[in-house]
């Protein structure tokens, strides 16, 4: 034992389980009597305990100016908290939300066919966690530093969703939605756990099953039997538009970014023109063009595409330009030596891009892409302007119902819509910050 | 096995389908040809559809009157289309300019508060940032317009006055404003003279500092000269400007400056939303200045203020500028959301004109050109500033 090089201790192939490995390391460390062996951490400097009094003194009343700041912001926060509390629990007239909760979630989807979106929700609750569970390990392998799996991290990731589900369920008037959510959560937990278990043995099969499952649980209930996106609305429409926007624009954006970096002047000029043209114009203008102009571009004898389809085309075209700029940033961050090395070992230009450049480039821009997704998710609210019944539009039209007209209920309905947008966007932005830290970006 | 059986390699080229030089040209030609074919196809559809539906395809419409009213513009219904668009461009520029100024101030304030030593101030600033950054800007605009501004008192008689200097109602908001009297025109000459004097004095102080090493105090000298010229000019011209306070009338107020309700809601919404993004940029840029700079500044005995002004901020500014310019662009583009609430900026005017029968393709081509011009001018200015701020490198 003593003759073995120290560095090998940790890489022993037979040290299969972490506990066993640690045991060996500790045993070796003891035999060496104080010589640092293995991954012993340097002793950390002792943390100085800061008492409550001292903390308050340092953080709130360090000087006269600080005391003034504390008083001002204390009053401000108290006032905001008081106003919010009063609005939510006392003055808010929330009946308009209770009555229209299904509309907020699904728009005008025929009420006799509600099993369809429910089936979709349960299908997604199965297959998305399955896939997340399967990738959890991969992400962990990519991650630097220790995997944190304690309850604090879980809580900080989960509370927005708990608030969202709790908030929405508090407006229901029957027990059915609560039971459905409970069922979905139960199915989801089991699926996540199975995905994690199956990751090693059948990773590829799980990927395929999840992909097929997600597409099928979306397509079968919501697109068959004469249904289509013209029937949808509310949160369903918002999420669908965001998902289509980012999913379809992603490959187009990569192609545009590669085109912009290409050394063929003709192709480069086309890509630059497209990207700069789209990025120089507000999304509203493009959506209004979808409303007024895009219909003119189809052949005269073909039927006009639906408004949703035209809007989706514009969303994709818009997002692709922004994705292209993000990906271009990633491409620029790949050192030139990588390309040269790949060329030196004789890879074809296509393989250099596909196997060497793109993986590194995309990994570097994952957080920025998530940021783009968040901003697209928020931008789907602009579909309300051209009259598509997504979440924000629902919040506007329900105040015109005969029972609620001219009562000034916009504050309540818009606040509810803002709440849903906020929670989802906040959760995504926190997740992207977490991902950024775990991938160790900006640290290498 | 003799040399003769081997093909003569030197000077020969591979067959054209494997020659990179040929392939490059062919690939580009194919892509460009495909683009042209697609565009030509769309153009054909467009013109066929337009002629079939009897929509004009020329640009003659830009001289026709718009036949709808723009609030706060006299005789707006008889304005030709291009004049109406100019009004819209002016309104977009106003809200963008004021919004950029206010959002920068608020953003810097919140960003600095996020780095404050004070726990409560830090908390408040981060709540502000997280709350606004993750809400769609259109939702903020609609909340401010429908649930705040339009809920202000509608009755002018009981509208709040705040010490007699404002009138706040859902018909508009009136604030005190400077009002030109006799000699206001000549006073602008005085202002110009003051600017010239300030620049001259600053230049003179800099020269003296370079020659003798006496502290230049350019800022103090310049400000003093500026104020002195303005005050002397004001007195000499016999008070060319006065404060105009709004006074209530039957259906509004007279005097002061009137802020349209939709403009107010849009301006506040764009300001607070963009400020939440700017705050993050400011915070990130200050944090990105290496810590050694702070320590070195302390070591040479600079005060807190000097450290900020002379060491940290100049370096943070360099990091801050490109993302900041991006936010300015976003604010300008987001001002088009006024289409939802009725502030007559350029998108809303185009939208209404199209609904009134003006040909959509031409109107929107015009509109896109306007926004591209806005975008290009903002990027041009920011590039100019960037070049000034850039570290001189070899």
Give the Cα separation of A199 and A209 in Å (integer). Answer: 12
Contact A382, A284 (CB under 8 A): yes
Write out pLDDT tens, residues B199-243.
999 899 889 888 888 888 888 888 998 999 888 888 888 777 777
Question: pLDDT tens digits for A373-397?
Answer: 999 999 999 999 999 999 999 999 9
Q: What is the ipTM of this complex?
A: 0.85
Surface of B (307-336) touching A: CB under 8 A: 333-334, 336
Q: Is B375 on the interface with A (CB under 8 A)?
A: yes
DSSP letter at A4 equals S
Q: What is the mean pLDDT of chain A?
A: 83
What are φ and ψ of residue B166, in 5° steps?
A: -135, 160
Q: How far is Cα A287 from Cα B340, in angstroms, rounded to an integer? A: 13
| Confidence category of residue A10, pLDDT binned at 50, 70, 90 | very low
**Cα(B44)–Cα(A299) distance, integer angstroms:** 9
Q: Which of B35, B52, B354 sits opposite A270 (nearest CB)?
A: B35
Supply angle C-alpha A253, A259, A265, rounded to 5: 155
Report how far residue B48's alpha carbon sits from residue B320's, in angstroms, rounded to the nearest whole number.
Answer: 50
Residue B352: its chain A contacts at CB < 8 A? none
Which positions ≥6 away from B117 have C-beta within 8 Å? A58, A59, A62, A66
Confidence at residue B330, expressed as pLDDT on a 0 to 100 scale: 93
Query: Residue B349: closest CA among chain A residues belongs to which residue?
Result: A285
What's the burial of A15, exposed, middle or buried (CB within 10 Å: 0-12/13-18/19+)?
middle
Identify the pLDDT of residue B132.
94
Q: What is the pLDDT of residue A313?
A: 93
Could you tell me the pLDDT band of residue A398, with boundaries at 50, 70 and 90? Answer: very high
Average pLDDT across chain B, whole number:
87
Closest-CA distance of chain B to residue A115, Å: 31
The rounded distance, in Å, linking the Cα atoms of A205 and B83 is: 64
Query: Tell me: the pLDDT tens digits for A268-283?
Result: 999 999 999 999 999 9
CA dist., res. B206 & res. B201, Å (int): 9
B259 phi and psi angles, rounded to 5 deg: -100, 120
> Which whole number is the average pLDDT over A142-163?
71
Quickly state the pLDDT bin for B56 (edges 50, 70, 90): confident
Q: CB-CB: which of A288, A378, A410 is closest to B146?
A: A410
Q: How confident is the model at residue B156, as a pLDDT? A: 78
Taking the C-alpha atoms of residue B80 and residue B60, their distance in angstroms, rounded to an integer, is 11
Residue B246 burial class via C-beta count within 10 angstroms: exposed 0-12, middle 13-18, buried 19 and up: buried
Identity of the residue in A282, A415, A426 whose CB atom sits nearest the CB atom of B336: A282
Partners of A285 on chain B (C-beta within 8 Å) are: 336, 347, 364, 367-368, 371
**Percent of chain B at pLDDT above 70?**
96
- Name every residue whose Cβ is closer than 8 Å to that of residue A230 and which is 6 or more positions away in sequence: A306, A308
Burial of A345 (C-beta count, 10 Å sphere; 0-12/13-18/19+): exposed
Q: 């003093």: which residue's tokens?
A: B224
Given a contact cutoff of 8 angstroms between Cβ atoms, the answer to whether B350 and B368 are in contact is no
As a whole-number percent, the residues of chain A with pLDDT over 90 amount to 37
**Chain B interface mutation, best of A280, A291, A294, A318, highest count of B Cβ atoms under 10 Å:** A280
Query: Torsion angle, CA of B284/B287/B290/B293, rounded to 10 degrees?
Result: 130
Contact A299 B45 (CB under 8 A): yes
The confidence band for A41, taking pLDDT boundaries of 50, 70 and 90, is low
Q: What is the pLDDT of residue A26?
A: 45
Q: What is the DSSP secondary-structure string of B39-91? A: HHHHHHHHHHHHHHTT---SSGGGGSB--S--TT-TTGGGSBHHHHHHHHHHH
Q: Which of A73, A264, A429 sits opposite B134 (nearest CB)?
A: A429
Q: Tens of pLDDT along B136-184?
A: 999 999 999 998 888 888 777 777 777 777 888 888 888 888 877 777 7
- The number of C-beta contacts closer than 8 angstroms across A and B is 162
User: Measured between CB atoms, does B57 come within 8 Å of chain A?
Assistant: no
Nearest CA-CA partner of A111 in A122, A121, A100, A120? A100
Residues of B in contact with A392 (CB under 8 A): 136, 138-139, 142
- Determine contact, residues B265/B143, Cβ cutoff 8 Å: no
Question: What is the rounded CA–CA span in Å between residue A421 and residue B299?
Answer: 48
Contacts of A76 in chain B (CB under 8 A): 124
Question: B362 vs chain A: nearest CA distance in angstroms?
Answer: 10
B122 to chain A: closest CA residue? A73
- Give the strand pairing for B172-175 and B177-180: unpaired
Q: State the number of CA atoms in the 13 A half-sphere of A197 facing the CB.
A: 6
d(CA B84, CA B90): 10
Check B120 against A77: CB less than 8 A apart: yes
Is the confidence at residue A38, as pLDDT, over 60?
no
List of chain A residues whose C-beta atoms are within 8 Å of the C-beta of residue B134: 374, 378, 421-422, 425-426, 429
Q: Which candidate in B121, B348, B367 is best for mutational testing of the A interface (most A CBs within 10 A)?
A: B121
Q: Measured between beta carbons, which residues in chain B are less than 8 angstroms from residue A300?
A: 45, 48-49, 52
Angle between helices A410-438 and A95-106 (to 10 degrees): 50
**Token pair belonging to A270:** 């086309």
pLDDT, tens only, B315-352 = 888 888 888 999 999 999 999 999 999 899 999 999 99
Work out the burial of residue A90: count CB atoms within 10 Å of its CB; fewer than 13 is exposed, 13-18 middle, 19 or more buried: exposed
Closest CA of chain B from A298, distance in Å: 6
Per-position DSSP letters for B160-188, written without gaps between them = --TTTT-EEETTEEEE-EEEE-TTHHHHH
Verify whether the Cβ–Cβ distance A264 to B124 is below 8 Å: no
The predicted model gives A85-99 an average pLDDT of: 90
Determine, for residues A281 and B372 on separate chains, whether the beta-carbon distance falls below 8 Å.
yes
**What strand order describes the sheet that includes B257-259?**
B167-169, B172-175, B257-259
Question: Does the pLDDT at position A285 exceed 60?
Answer: yes
Is B52 within 8 Å of chain A by CB?
Answer: yes
> Distance from A107 to chain B by nearest Cα, in Å?
18
**Closest chain A residue to B52, measured at CA:** A300
Give dist(CA A381, CA A232) in Å, integer: 15
- pLDDT surpassing 60 at residue A31: no
Q: What 8-state DSSP symbol labels residue B247?
A: E
pLDDT at site B6: 54
Is any Cβ of chain A less than 8 angstroms from the Cβ of B18? no
Q: Does B75 touch chain A (CB under 8 A)?
A: no
Digit-coded pLDDT (tens) for B249-304: 777 777 778 888 899 999 999 999 999 999 999 999 998 888 899 899 999 999 88
Higher per-residue confidence, A29 vs B82 = B82
pLDDT band with cut points at 50, 70 and 90 for residue A13: very low
Report the SS3 class of residue A61: coil
Q: At what angle do helices B360-389 and B81-114 cross, to 10 degrees?
A: 40
Written as six digits, the tokens of B38 are 């697609």
Cβ(A206)–Cβ(A198) below 8 Å: yes
Task: Give the distance from residue B135's alpha carbon to the nearest chain A alpha carbon, in angstroms.
Answer: 5
Distance CA A72, CA A85 (A): 20
At A318 the pLDDT is 95
Q: CA–CA separation, A336 vs A411, rounded Å? A: 54
The tokens for B99 are: 């919004």
pLDDT (tens digit, 9 = 90+) per residue, B38-49? 999 999 999 888
CB contact under 8 A, B143 and A414: yes
State percent of chain A over pLDDT 70.
86
List Cα–Cα distances, B182 to A34, A383, B186, B308, in angstroms: 91, 51, 9, 44
Q: Which residue of A has its CA nearest to B35?
A: A270
Contact B339, B263 (CB under 8 A): no
């Amino acid at each position: 034992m003593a003759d073995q090089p120290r560095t090998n201790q940790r890489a022993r192939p037979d040290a299969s389980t972490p506990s066993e490995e640690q045991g060996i390391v500790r045993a070796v460390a003891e035999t060496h009597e104080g010589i640092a062996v293995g991954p012993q951490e340097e002793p950390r400097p002792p943390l100085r305990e800061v008492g409550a009094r001292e903390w308050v003194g340092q953080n709130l009343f360090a000087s006269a100016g600080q005391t003034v700041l504390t008083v001002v912001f204390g009053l401000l926060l108290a006032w905001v908290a008081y106003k919010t509390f009063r609005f939510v629990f006392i003055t808010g007239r929330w009946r308009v939300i209770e009555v229209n909760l299904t509309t907020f979630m699904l728009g005008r989807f025929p009420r006799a066919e509600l099993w369809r979106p429910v089936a979709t929700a349960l299908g997604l609750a199965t297959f998305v966690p399955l896939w997340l569970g399967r990738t959890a390990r991969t992400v962990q392998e990519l991650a630097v530093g220790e995997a944190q799996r304690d309850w604090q991290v879980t809580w900080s990731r989960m509370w927005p969703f708990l608030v969202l589900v709790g908030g929405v369920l508090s407006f229901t008037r029957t027990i059915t939605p609560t039971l459905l959510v409970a069922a979905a959560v139960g199915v989801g937990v089991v699926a996540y756990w199975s995905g994690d278990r199956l990751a090693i043995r059948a990773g590829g099969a799980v990927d395929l099953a999840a992909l097929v499952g997600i597409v099928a649980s979306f397509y079968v209930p919501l697109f068959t039997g004469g249904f289509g996106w013209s029937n949808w609305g509310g949160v369903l429409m918002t999420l669908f538009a965001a998902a289509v926007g980012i999913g379809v624009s992603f490959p187009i954006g990569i192609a545009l970014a590669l085109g912009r970096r290409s050394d063929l002047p003709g192709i480069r000029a086309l890509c630059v023109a497209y990207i700069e043209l789209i990025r120089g114009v507000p999304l509203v203008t493009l959506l209004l063009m979808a409303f007024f102009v895009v219909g003119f571009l189809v052949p005269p004898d073909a039927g006009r595409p639906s408004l949703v389809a035209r809007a989706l085309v514009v969303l994709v075209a818009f997002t692709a330009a922004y994705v292209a700029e993000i990906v271009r940033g990633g491409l620029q961050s790949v050192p030139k030596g990588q390309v040269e090395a790949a060329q030196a070992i004789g890879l074809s230009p296509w393989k250099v891009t596909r196997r060497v450049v793109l993986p590194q480039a995309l990994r570097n821009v994952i957080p920025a892409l998530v940021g783009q997704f968040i901003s697209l998710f928020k931008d789907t609210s602009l579909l309300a302007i051209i009259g598509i019944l997504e979440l924000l539009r629902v919040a506007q039209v329900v105040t015109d119902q005969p029972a609620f007209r001219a009562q000034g209920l916009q504050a309540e309905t818009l606040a509810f819509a803002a709440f849903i947008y906020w929670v989802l966007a906040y959760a995504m932005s926190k997740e992207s910050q977490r991902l950024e830290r775990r991938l160790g970006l900006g640290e290498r | 096995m003799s040399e003769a059986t081997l093909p003569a390699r030197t000077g020969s080229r591979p067959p054209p389908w494997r020659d990179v030089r040929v392939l490059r040209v062919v690939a580009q030609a194919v892509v460009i040809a495909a683009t042209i074919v697609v565009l030509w196809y769309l153009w054909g559809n467009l013109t066929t559809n337009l002629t079939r539906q009897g929509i004009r395809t020329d640009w003659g419409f830009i001289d026709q009157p718009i036949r709808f009213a723009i609030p706060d513009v006299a005789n707006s219904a008889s304005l030709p289309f291009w004049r109406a668009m100019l009004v819209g461009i002016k309104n977009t520029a106003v809200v963008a300019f004021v919004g950029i100024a206010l959002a920068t101030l608020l953003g810097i304030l919140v960003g600095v508060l996020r780095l404050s030593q004070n726990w409560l101030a830090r908390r408040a600033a981060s709540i502000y940032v997280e709350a606004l950054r993750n809400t769609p800007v259109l939702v903020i605009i609609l909340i401010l317009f429908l649930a705040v501004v339009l809920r202000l008192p509608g009755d002018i008689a009981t509208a709040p006055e705040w010490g007699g200097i404002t009138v706040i109602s859902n018909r508009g908001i009136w604030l005190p404003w400077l009002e030109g009297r006799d000699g206001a025109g000549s006073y602008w000459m005085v202002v110009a003279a003051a600017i010239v004097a300030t620049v001259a004095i600053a230049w003179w102080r800099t020269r003296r500092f370079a020659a003798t090493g006496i502290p230049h105090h350019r800022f103090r000298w310049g400000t003093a000269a500026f104020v002195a010229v303005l005050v002397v000019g004001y007195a000499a011209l016999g008070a060319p400007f006065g404060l105009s306070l709004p006074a209530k009338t039957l259906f509004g107020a007279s005097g002061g400056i009137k802020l349209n309700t939709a403009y107010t809601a849009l301006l506040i919404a764009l300001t607070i939303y963009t400020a939440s993004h700017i705050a993050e940029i400011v915070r990130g840029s200050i944090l990105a200045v290496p810590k050694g700079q702070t320590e070195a500044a302390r070591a040479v005995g600079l005060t807190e203020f000097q450290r900020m002004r002379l060491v940290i901020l100049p370096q943070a500014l360099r990091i801050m500028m490109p993302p900041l310019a991006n936010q300015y662009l976003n604010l300008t583009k987001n001002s088009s959301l006024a289409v939802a609430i009725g502030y007559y900026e350029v998108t809303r005017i185009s939208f209404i004109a199209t609904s009134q029968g003006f040909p959509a393709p031409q109107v929107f081509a015009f509109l896109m050109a306007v926004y591209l011009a806005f975008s290009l001018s903002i990027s041009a200015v920011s590039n100019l500033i960037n070049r000034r701020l850039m570290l001189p490198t070899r």
